[in-house]
Structure 1
């Protein structure tokens, strides 16, 4: 799992990235949603920090802007056994789509979601992982709104992991954009909806669906 010398890197440096408890569900097989396969969340975050520090050598920045100033993306090669998280909708597989009102945690409002059951669609191992990061300030603000506290001091926290076959951001699901526009105490991030980005996302997700 770790290459020679990588454990030394972790021992000699402070974590730049942590995993926010919101993303723990992706390492818990009993939870719904995209599951990370082949490592624990502790192993995952150690490897991510190694890869971040390696990428950052001699570069000004390896984090890419997300949908808000507090959101960044880090793209790494998939070092797990996790398969791609979405696929194109075709005439052959459209009959397998299912939908349900779901919330990602008890504090959130449920929203309508659609997906392919993973046993109905054959998927290959993803080439990349899109790590969606929130700043420490944003995470602390959201935790406060939810009545939670955290002693985590890492500058950035992983809130979601997207296994995919490209090393750039794919459109966020429209319903996720709407959810993010909700107030902090309702599970959102308080970010105003970007109509142009929403329209582009609709176009993409009319032709694709997650595989869960």
Structure 2
């Protein structure tokens, strides 16, 4: 699907990851109706739940959870399998994301922020998933020896690439403050699914292809290896977007100092 995996929710936390990711539109200005403070994450989650329950249901939601990202969810009470890390009901997650989107549209705001290509957008919301940790951690002398690596493919037909990460059992990370909900256009999802011999599964304009738990409400650089895979094309599990050397250099600068937690 052309995105970095993990918590991607992994997705990528970072107590220290604001080193190279310049914070853009703050949550307070992006959604004044939803209060947020570092100590009030659960309060913000309750507010989002209220919005979702009170909003009129839309016959065709603007945003749906794509199967590519759905594999990262663990049903409440179930045991996590593979790299699934989001313990939350998928339908409720989708409803809350749409509630935030619709509320901002109704307020005359542009809820979607530009991504790395025209078909990619970001929707930043306060973290409403209880206990979901940051997905990226700064690398230091105290934890560098804990890094793990593996050639990994997120789905069977994808080209395996070298990845590195911290095992969440080995490190301590704070609860994420924000969720970076990454969206692909329906056209792009159909294009990539066709290359993999899969069905699109929905007609909604936007599909959630990744969720990243993080401490800032702005984009964290895509990992260098993901940029390379994207440039290889949809037949290898990428998006077909050419490599941007300047963006790649910024990504290297950030990921030399950080790693995912999963």
Q: Which bin holds the TM-score, normalised by the shorter protein?
A: over 0.9
Give the TM-score normalised by the residue count of structure 2.
0.76
Q: How does 1:32-181 map to 2 (within 5 A)?
A: 32=83, 35-37=85-87, 39-81=88-130, 82-181=132-231
RMSD (Å) for aligned C-alpha atoms:
1.5
Q: Give the Cα separation in 1 of the matches to 2:125 and 2:257.
A: 25
The structure-2 alpha-carbon separation of the partners of 1:121 and 1:135, relative to structure 1 and needing over 3 Å to count, comes to same
The higher relative CO (CA closer than 8 Å, separation ≥ 6) is in: 2
Count of equivalent residues: 210
The structure-2 alpha-carbon separation of the partners of 1:4 and 1:129, relative to structure 1 and needing over 3 Å to count, comes to closer
Gaps of 5+ in 1: none
8 Å contact kept, 1:10–1:50: no
Give the TM-score normalised by the residue count of structure 1.
0.94
Confirm or deny that 1:20 pairs with 2:69. Answer: no
1:6 corresponds in structure 2 to: 52
Q: Give the Cα separation in 1 of the matches to 2:116 and 2:216.
A: 18
1:171-190 Cα distance to aligned partner (Å, 9 max, x none): 11111111111221211111
Report SS of the residue matched to 1:181.
helix
Q: Give the Cα separation in 2 of the matches to 1:107 and 1:10.
A: 39
